[in-house]
Structure 1
């Protein structure tokens, strides 16, 4: 029986690509020291160096400062990023409606996200969705990162369910989908054209609203 659904954050609930672009454009506008570089060039270079969030911003800012000879301190820019990114967070369409539906079905909801505790907490709070989740595991706080199986097992244990009673929803083929399948969970891969498809998955979606159809299609005996 399905008892719980656990979500990734970045690229699954949070449209990180759009959120990052929004923030970088806004930061560029606020700092005159960037303006000897064309805005489109600056924004695209930031995005390239960021590597979809897999490079922390201390290195990104240090690279930008060196490359474009910016006379600012990278730590000040990083602090501005950590504090300011949350103001530009954009969720994928249908997020709240989907969470409402799952809550109405009395499913336990959780979240597992890699990242720094303060930064990810800020972003979750910006969405005002923390009340939907009984368990939120952030890798820095937990001392362990996806795809380590321990973080998935920790989440289901804290929810009081078994892996086979749970579904994990994520966009990364290895860190999310294959890792959750390896511990016995079912998985929903939220398609991302930047990644090759995972070797295996239970379901695949393009939009969050499709999760409602998957849950409804499992039948009342599953809920």
Structure 2
């Protein structure tokens, strides 16, 4: 088996469960903007909120998500304008938590290898997620797209990480859930990409990951 020097990770939906965070964010919106919603209606509202969030995933401005949701389910207390973005920026990072299994895994890996995060997104929000979950304690470097001026799948962001870690592409692995941004991106610089696919989604692209895992624990078999 090849000896690796570093593992690079995506953040959202890889190290952190974004779906769970969106569920918590939805409950905050209910509390802030609605009153006395029946359970059956809550389920319908949650499904719609997730649809709108997924539609605009990757965009920093979440105004359209809220406005679409409020149009579908008129609230008693409506957030408008800058208040929408402020609400998202202030509360969403606090909706994330890290599993104990992931902490154990990171502790095991960093005893042997250099570790890094490469994440797309707003600098304040991504930093807040990382600080609130104490992930900054486990990584040698953390690269946020807005902060450095380019994003996955751009090869420059991967090359920057390699340079900061002082490792060659063939000595690194990248782990991420997005087959195009993460796996296609890292392959642009000849890093082997491990597709984290816990929901067993179908790969409809021409991108062939080096490996596919449904649990982060399975990473240990590659190092």
TM-score between the two structures when normalised by the length of structure 2: 0.87
Aligned to 2:208: 200
Equivalent position to 1:90, from 94, 97, 105: 97
Aligned to 2:125: 119
Q: After superposing the two structures, state which structure 1 stretch, 126-135 or 164-173, moved more.
A: 126-135
Equivalent position to 2:54, from 51, 54, 76: 51
The 8 Å contact of residues 58 and 121 in structure 2, kept in 1 or not, is answered as no
Asked whether 1:42 is paired with 2:45, we answer yes
Q: After superposing the two structures, state which structure 1 stretch, 181-190 or 3-12, moved more.
A: 181-190
Aligned to 1:11: 13
Alpha-carbon offset, residue 63 of structure 1 = 1.9
For this pair of structures, how many residues does the alignment match? Answer: 214
Aligned to 1:61: 66
Distance in 2 (CA, whole Å) between partners of 1:43 and 1:80 is 18
**Deviation digits for residues 17-50 of structure 1, max 9, x if unmatched?**
1111122123312333795993223222111011
Alpha-carbon offset, residue 78 of structure 1 = 2.4
SS of 1:161's equivalent?
Answer: coil
Aligned to 1:140: 146
Aligned to 1:161: 167
The 8 Å contact of residues 12 and 92 in structure 1, kept in 2 or not, is answered as no
Distance in 2 (CA, whole Å) between partners of 1:34 and 1:150 is 50
What are structure 2's unaligned runs of at least 5 residues? none
SS of 1:97's equivalent?
Answer: helix
What are structure 1's unaligned runs of at least 5 residues? 216-223
Asked whether 1:101 is paired with 2:75, we answer no
Distance in 1 (CA, whole Å) between partners of 2:129 and 2:217 is 21
**Deviation digits for residues 118-173 of structure 1, max 9, x if unmatched?**
01111111110112212111111111111011111111111111111110000111
Equivalent position to 2:220, from 207, 212, 216: 212
Distance 1:112 1:77, change over 3 A: same
Distance in 2 (CA, whole Å) between partners of 1:148 and 1:92 is 29
**Deviation digits for residues 56-108 of structure 1, max 9, x if unmatched?**
41221122233434433142232122111222213356210110001111x11
TM-score between the two structures when normalised by the length of structure 1: 0.87
RMSD value over aligned CA atoms? 2.2
